[in-house]
Amino acid sequence: MKPVLPLLLLCGLLSSCKKMEAYQRGCESFYRVPDIAARTSALTAAKGKWAAANLQNYSYTLRYGFSGMVSGTQNVSVRGGQVASSSSTGQTMEQLFGDVESKMAKATKPNACVMLEASYDAADGHVLSSSFQNVQQGLQDAFGGYSITAFHRE
């Protein structure tokens, strides 16, 4: 018979440690420190695929919002690596990668209560989505995100 009880106690303690860390940071109780190393690795891989694809001409629709609700869209066209047209302040894919990097930098600051997620296209690495939420206790309206739809190589 395997010693299951010590394993269960260890798991409970580890969970309590995570909660204690969240409390010490001043974060909401559900907060868990994100795995920045894994997110950095995924970002680095995506940027490598994007560089290898060498896409200079593309278009996409960026849908952005808060609390899971879409509050706006932007149609962006990039030519020669520069924003050629946009229904608002469009960004190149390199700028969107920079946005994700900036969010990761905020998450690594001491006492940060930042939850972040990002996803990337498996083929060429372009950003598919990014979300950011500050879950410091008592803070409201510090979250949002975007998704890329209708991405076209041109």
Tell me: the pLDDT tens digits for 6-17? 433 443 444 445
pTM, 2 dp: 0.78
CA 131 to chain centre: 5
Number of domains the chain is built from: 1
d(CA 86, CA 67): 25
State residue 12's pLDDT score: 44
How many Å is the maximal CA-CA distance in the chain? Answer: 68
Please state the φ and ψ torsions of residue 123, each to the nearest 5 degrees.
Answer: -85, -55
In a domain, 107, yes or no: yes
Span 100-111, average pLDDT: 86
Is residue 50 domain-resident?
Answer: yes
Q: Are 144 and 132 in contact (CB under 8 A)?
A: yes
Q: Band of the pLDDT at 36, cuts 50, 70, 90? A: confident
pLDDT at 42: 97
User: Is 24 part of a structural domain of the chain?
Assistant: no
Which range scores top for mean pLDDT: 48-57, 65-74, 124-133?
48-57
In a domain, 135, yes or no: yes
Whether 79 maps to a domain, the answer reads: yes
What is the per-residue pLDDT for 96? 96
Structural domain including 94 reads 34-153
Residue 18 lies in a domain: no
In-domain check, residue 121: yes
SS (H, E, C) the chain: CCCHHHHHHHHHHHHHHHHHHHHHHCECCCCCCCCHHHHHHHHHHHHHHHHHHCCCCEEEEEEEEECCEEEEEEEEEEECCEEEEECCCCCCHHHHHHHHHHHHHHHCCCCCCEEEEEEECCCCCCEEEEEEEECECCCCCCEEEEEEEEEEEC
Does residue 4 sit within a domain?
no
User: Residue 20: is its pLDDT beyond 70?
Assistant: no
Q: Flag whether pLDDT at 84 surpasses 70.
A: yes
